[in-house]
Amino acid sequence: MPKDMSHSSGQKPPVSKKRKKTRAKMVFPPEQKQRIKDKMAQLGFTFQAEHLLLQAFTHSSYVNEHRIRSVQDNERLEFLGDAVVELAVSRYLYTHFPDMSEGEMTKLRAAAVCEPSLSKLAKEQGFGELVFIGKGEEMTGGRLRPALLADVYESFLGALYLDQGMEQAQLFLNESMFTKLKNGAFSHMMDFKSQLQETIQKENGGTLLYEIQDERGPAHSREFSAVLKLDDTVLGEGTGRSKKEAEQQAAENALKYLEQNRSSGPK
């Protein structure tokens, strides 16, 4: 009689819940999970909450492709990591550069946490090879996209902060970013637009025009595309998480383009 009552209640047997959990775990290829664990061992981190570590390396295209609600992408962790890296860099600049003005610290921080800088740091760590991405994103070179790489750098920091606290996040940044910051690696990135303006004025002159061509992504993680023209000639293009950042990258690419023209021109 108790058996009949349990069936009539409409409750699902415990076995179905176990199946759901097994299915969610099988979403992540074991070989790639192992590569992530090996990378953490190399960095000296042991995550208590493995789901946070896996989430940090899960792109939205992968979640959309598999359509499993129990798997979350890394966008929320990226949001948190963005705040973590900005606070950590602010603290480092305040502590290690006592003679630097507020304006100079703001510019240097912006150069250190911009998309081009973070994407290079993520590439150095090999994070692009560890990300779970959808087949379509894979086929279009998603692992090499600066926006994706910068996002996964931040999402990893967000996961590390939640799992092990600010000290460990600071430790990771000490190794991957702050040494470069101390050696002036980001100083040249502080204002490409001004550098370009000076270069154009010294040479032929002309009018520089920045145009925002595209804007995409969720509200908390927008990606802008900018085109830079000298009169009617396109000098450079750039992307970034703000209009200013996209314009700075376009100016950087324009400077590279002009330098290449000089070196390949008649001697």
Binding-site residues for Mg(2+) sit at: 78, 151, 154
Question: Catalytic residue among 82, 163, 245, 247, which?
Answer: 82
What is the DSSP pairing of strand 233-240 with strand 208-216?
A: unpaired
Question: Catalytic residue among 154, 163, 223, 252, which?
Answer: 154
State the Cα–Cα distance between residues 80 and 57, nearest whole angstrom: 14
CA distances from 200 to 214, 244, 255 (A): 26, 20, 10
Is 82 tagged catalytic?
A: yes
Give the position of tokens 């002036």. Answer: 184
Q: Is residue 225 within 8 Å of 213, Cβ to Cβ? A: yes
State the Cα–Cα distance between residues 231 and 122, nearest whole angstrom: 36
Q: Which residues contact 245 (CB under 8 A, 6 or more apart)?
A: 114, 115, 224, 238
Binding-site residue set: 78, 151, 154
How remote is the C-alpha of 151 from its chain's centroid?
A: 2
Q: Which amino acids are annotated catalytic?
A: 82, 154
